[in-house]
Amino acid sequence: MYYLYIVAGLALLVSLIFSREKTTRSLKIAARRFIMILPAFLLMIVLISVVLYLVPDELISRYLGSDNKFTAMALASLLGSVTVIPGFIAFPLAGILVQKGVVYMVVAAFTTTLMMVGVLTVPIERAYFGLKVTVIRNIISFFIALVVAVVIGLSFGEIFQ
């Protein structure tokens, strides 16, 4: 993680060297946007923290960390498909799930369907793309998410354990 901070700091330094004015203006815009999303961001973090505190670790382990990884993957995929959480919350949540004993394959299924499949956003998507395109896109995205999860499971040796 520190490498990312170093790279970002170096990139900022290079930007300052090339154009101090543009860099300063960009930092001001970034700060304003950060302040605008901060309340929603903090609210999501608090809500997820409360839910994870109230839901016992045993329950998470029973359903998402179960011995049958494919059942857990299917459940995580369905949960991810009907949940609307922004990526900046979903990925830290994925880290928490891994710490609680959920295997990478199941976490990959959850996060991939969360980002790619949108059951709750179908009405909005249908208005722009039509029902047929929306349904086809969601179905293809769901199966791609399952393939990604299986590949992650194979990569980490979780399937043949």
d(CA 56, CA 54): 6
Q: Same structural domain for residues 42 and 83?
A: no
Q: Tell which phi-psi region holds residue 130, choosing left (phi > 0), alpha (psi between -120 and 50) or beta.
A: left
**Which positions ≥6 away from 106 have C-beta within 8 Å?**
64, 65, 69, 72, 73, 76, 97, 149
Domain range enclosing 19: 1-54
Q: Same structural domain for residues 47 and 70?
A: no
Q: How many domains does the chain have?
A: 2
Q: Same structural domain for residues 138 and 75?
A: yes
Q: Same structural domain for residues 62 and 97?
A: yes
State pLDDT tens for residues 137-161: 999 999 999 999 999 999 998 887 6
Q: In whole angstroms, how far apart are CA 49 and each of 7, 44, 54, 55, 97?
A: 30, 8, 9, 10, 12
State pLDDT tens for residues 72-96: 899 999 988 988 787 878 888 888 8
Percentage of residues of the chain with pLDDT beyond 90 = 48
Q: Same structural domain for residues 88 and 151?
A: yes
Q: Same structural domain for residues 152 and 76?
A: yes
Q: Same structural domain for residues 49 and 60?
A: no
pTM of the model: 0.70
Q: Same structural domain for residues 109 and 49?
A: no
